[in-house]
Amino acid sequence: MVDSLDLAKAIAGCGGDARQLPATIKRYEKDMLTRGEQFAQKSWKKLEGHFIAHAGEEMAQRVLGKK
């Protein structure tokens, strides 16, 4: 939802000048992809953590505050 709001703000910031749209959208996409990459990396780490051989033991240690 944040992406939609950011895009709407970017488009509104063009002030009705359609010539500004391509550059505005490129800036928006760059920011969106950077943010998306951060979340993708975080998700990948969590996924790996669930499927390694000793995942259950590591999770138990975290829950118990030992790791």
The domain spans of the chain are 2-63
**Taking the complete model, does pTM exceed 0.85, yes or no?**
no
**27, two tokens:** 């800036």
Return the structure tokens found at 15.
């002030």
Token pair belonging to 51? 């499927």
Tens digits of residue pLDDT in 42-62: 999 888 877 888 888 888 888
65 φ/ψ angles, rounded to the nearest 5 degrees:
75, 20
Q: State the burial class of residue 63 (Cβ atoms within 10 Å of its Cβ: 0-12, 13-18, 19+).
A: exposed
Task: Give the pLDDT band (50/70/90) at residue 67.
Answer: low
pLDDT digits (tens, 9 = 90+) for 6-38: 999 999 999 999 999 999 999 999 999 999 999
Residue 52 per-residue DSSP state: S
Where do runs of H (alpha helix) occur along the chain?
2-12, 21-51, 55-63
